C-alpha cells in the first residue's frame, strides 16, 4: 500500500519535504492550467494534448506515491482512494468478463481508455493530497483559477464577437460558444466549477471581494449566457439556492424570485419553459417509442435514451456490457447523458454500487474537519460557510450527473470537483483578522509550525462545557 491509514495527518520526512512540496505544487498548478485548455486544443487542432497531459499526471502520481509511501493520510481520504480503487476493479472485471467470456466488447480501445481515466483520477487525488497542506496552496489555487475564469470567459466572448459560435446539436435554436472546451455544455459546466473554486478559495482565505473579482465574475456570467446551456445555469442556481438555504434562509425566496425572473426574460426562458411538456411525455408513454415530433427538446430525447439503455442493461444486470461501450449500443451512437444510467449499463449493479459509494465518499472526505469548524466558545467558525458552499455545489453537480452529461466522461470537470474538495480541507497559514464583534470565532488556520515541515498540526478536541 502506498499509504498508511490514520485518523490524523502525521509528519512525513523533514529534510527535503518543503522542496518536494514546492516542486509538486508548481507542477500541479501548471498542469491544471494547461489541462483546462487541452480539450479545446484537441477539438480545434485534432491532436491528443489531453491524453498526453493525463498520462504525465499518472506518471507523476506514481512518483509521488512512491516518495510519500510512509505518510499516513486521513482515514477519509484513504477511504476515498479505496472506493475509487474498488470502482476501477469493477470496471476491470466487467471488461475481462465481456471481452473474454461473453465476447461482447466491440471497442477494446474505448474500454481500456475508460479504465485509464479512472487511473488518472486516482493519481490526481494522490497528487493533490500531496500538496494541499502547503500554506500557499489556497492562495495559488485562487490565483490560477481566477486567471482561468477570466481567460475562459474572454475566449468565449471572443468567439461570439468574431462569429465563431455554432449550433452544437439539432435542438439548438441559437448559436453557442464552447470556448476552449469540447462542447458548449462542457464549457458551461467547467465555467461554473471554476467560479465555485474561486469563491471557495476566496472564502477560505477570507479575502474581500475586490474590483477585479467583480470584473471577472461579470465576464463569467456573460460567457455562461453565451454558452446557452441549461446545465451550467441549473448548477449555478442550485448551488446558490442550497447555500442560501443553509446560511441565509430568509434570503432564499428573494433569490428564487429574482433568479426565475432573470431566467424568464433571458434567452433561457424559452429553453426552460419547453420542459413543461416533460411530465406529459412520461405519463403518456411516448418515451418508449422514438418519434422526433414528441421530443421537442434534448431532455425529451434523453428520457427515451435512458429507457432504451436501461432495458438493455437489464439483460445483463450484474456486470453490464463493459466500460466505454455505451456509444456502440446506443441507438443514437451517443453517450447516455446520465452518469448513473451509463455506469449501470457499462458495469452493472456491481459497478453502480461501487461508483455510488465512491461518489458520496467525496462529501464525507470534505467534512473530515467539521468538528474543528463548529465549536469554539459557542461560536461557529467562518469556515462553516465554506463547507456549506461546497456541499451546495456538490448537490448541484450530483443533479447534473443524474440528468445531464455523463460526469465521469467530463474528466476536467471531475478534476475541478476534486480540487474544490481539497480547498475545503486546506489550512492556509495567513488569514484576515476578524472583527471582535463578529459572530464567527477567529479559529487559527495553520499548516504547521512556521510552515517548515510537510505536515498539518492536529487540533485539540473541544472539551465538554467549554
In this prediction, residue 371 carries a pLDDT of 60
In this prediction, residue 239 carries a pLDDT of 94
In this prediction, residue 82 carries a pLDDT of 94
Is residue 14 within 8 Å of 453, Cβ to Cβ? yes
Give the chain as a 3 state SS string. Answer: CCCEEECCCCCCCCCCHHHHHHHHHHHHHHHHHHHHHHHHHHHHHCCCHHHHHHHHHHHHHHHHHHHCCCCEEEHHHHHHHHHHHHHHHHHHHHHHHHHHHHCCCCCHHHHHHHHHHHHHHHHHHHHHHHHCCCCCHHHHHHHHHHHHHHHHHHHHHHHHHCCCCECCCCCCCCCECCCCCCCHHHHHHHHHHHHHHHHHHHHHHCCCCCHHHHHHHHHHHHHHHHHCCHHHHHHHHHHHHHHHHHHCHHHHHHHHHHHHHHHHHCCHHHHHHHHHHHHHHHHCCHHHCCCHHHCCCHHHHHHHHHHHHHHHHCCCCCCCCCCCCHHHHCCCCCCCCCHHHHHHHHHHHHHHHHHHHHHHHHHHHHCCCHHHHHCECCEEECHHHHHHHHHHHHHHHHHHHHHCCCHHHCHHHHHHHHHHHHHHHCCCCCCCCCCCCCCEECCCCCCCHHHCCCCCCCCCCCCCCC
Query: What tens-digit pLDDT sequence spans the chain (466 residues)?
Result: 444 444 443 333 343 556 567 888 999 999 999 999 998 888 888 888 898 999 999 999 998 888 777 777 778 888 999 999 999 999 999 988 888 765 666 777 888 888 888 999 999 999 999 899 888 999 999 999 999 999 999 999 999 999 888 887 777 778 889 888 888 889 999 999 999 999 999 999 989 999 999 999 999 999 999 988 888 898 999 999 999 998 888 888 888 888 877 777 666 766 777 778 888 888 888 888 877 667 777 788 889 999 999 999 999 999 899 898 898 888 888 888 899 999 999 999 999 999 999 999 999 999 887 666 554 434 455 678 889 999 999 999 999 888 876 676 788 999 999 999 999 998 876 444 444 343 333 333 333 333 333 333 333 344 444 3
In this prediction, residue 191 carries a pLDDT of 95
In this prediction, residue 190 carries a pLDDT of 94
In this prediction, residue 377 carries a pLDDT of 39
In this prediction, residue 307 carries a pLDDT of 92
Rounded CA gap, 133 and 427, in Å? 7
In this prediction, residue 440 carries a pLDDT of 37
In this prediction, residue 103 carries a pLDDT of 61
In this prediction, residue 283 carries a pLDDT of 86
Amino acid at each position: 500500500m502506498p499509504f498508511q491509514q490514520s485518523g490524523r495527518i502525521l509528519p512525513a520526512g523533514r529534510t527535503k519535504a518543503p522542496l518536494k512540496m514546492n516542486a509538486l505544487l508548481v507542477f500541479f498548478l501548471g498542469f491544471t492550467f494547461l489541462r483546462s485548455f487541452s480539450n479545446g486544443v484537441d477539438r480545434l487542432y485534432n491532436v491528443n494534448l489531453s491524453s498526453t497531459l493525463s498520462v504525465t499526471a499518472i506518471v507523476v502520481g506514481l512518483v509521488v506515491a512512491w516518495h510519500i509511501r510512509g505518510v499516513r493520510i486521513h482515514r477519509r481520504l484513504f477511504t476515498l482512494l479505496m472506493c475509487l480503487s474498488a470502482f476501477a476493479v469493477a470496471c476491470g472485471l466487467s471488461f475481462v468478463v465481456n471481452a473474454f467470456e461473453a465476447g461482447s466488447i466491440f471497442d477494446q480501445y474505448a474500454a481500456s481508455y475508460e479504465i485509464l481515466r479512472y487511473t488518472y483520477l486516482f493519481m490526481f487525488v494522490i497528487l493533490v493530497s500531496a500538496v494541499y497542506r502547503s500554506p500557499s496552496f489556497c492562495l495559488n489555487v485562487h490565483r490560477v483559477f481566477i486567471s482561468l475564469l477570466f481567460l475562459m470567459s474572454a475566449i468565449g466572448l471572443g468567439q461570439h464577437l468574431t462569429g465563431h459560435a455554432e449550433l452544437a446539436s439539432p435542438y439548438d435554436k441559437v448559436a453557442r460558444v464552447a470556448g476552449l472546451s469540447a462542447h458548449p455544455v462542457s464549457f458551461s459546466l467547467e465555467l461554473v466549477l471554476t467560479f465555485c473554486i474561486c469563491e471557495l478559495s476566496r472564502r477560505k482565505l477570507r479575502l474581500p471581494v475586490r474590483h477585479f473579482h467583480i470584473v471577472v465574475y461579470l465576464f463569467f456570467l456573460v460567457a455562461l449566457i453565451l454558452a446557452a446551456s441549461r446545465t451550467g445555469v441549473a448548477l449555478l442556481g442550485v448551488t446558490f439556492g442550497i447555500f442560501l438555504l443553509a446560511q441565509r434562509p430568509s434570503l432564499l425566496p428573494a433569490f428564487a424570485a429574482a433568479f426565475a425572473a432573470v431566467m424568464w426574460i433571458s434567452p433561457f426562458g424559452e429553453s426552460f419553459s419547453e420542459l413543461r411538456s416533460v411530465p406529459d411525455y412520461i405519463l403518456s408513454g411516448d418515451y418508449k417509442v422514438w418519434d422526433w415530433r414528441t421530443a421537442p427538446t434534448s431532455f425529451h430525447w434523453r428520457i427515451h435514451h435512458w429507457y432504451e439503455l436501461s432495458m438493455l442493461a437489464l439483460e445483463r444486470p450484474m456486470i453490464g456490457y463493459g466500460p466505454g461501450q455505451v456509444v456502440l449500443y446506443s441507438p443514437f451512437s451517443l453517450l447516455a447523458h446520465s452518469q448513473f444510467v451509463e455506469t449501470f449499463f457499462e458495469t452493472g449493479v456491481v459497478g453502480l454500487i461501487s461508483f455510488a459509494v465512491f461518489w458520496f465518499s467525496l462529501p464525507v472526505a470534505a467534512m473530515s474537519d467539521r468538528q474543528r469548524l463548529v465549536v469554539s466558545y459557542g461560536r461557529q467558525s467562518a469556515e462553516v460557510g465554506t463547507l456549506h458552499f461546497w456541499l451546495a455545489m456538490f448537490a448541484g453537480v450530483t443533479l447534473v450527473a443524474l440528468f445531464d452529461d455523463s460526469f465521469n466522461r467530463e474528466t476536467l470537470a471531475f478534476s475541478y470537483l476534486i480540487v474544490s474538495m481539497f480547498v475545503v480541507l486546506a489550512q492556509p497559514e495567513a488569514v484576515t483578522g476578524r472583527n471582535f464583534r463578529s459572530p464567527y470565532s477567529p479559529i487559527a488556520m495553520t499548516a504547521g509550525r512556521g510552515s517548515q515541515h510537510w505536515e498539518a498540526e492536529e487540533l485539540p478536541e473541544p472539551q465538554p462545557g467549554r
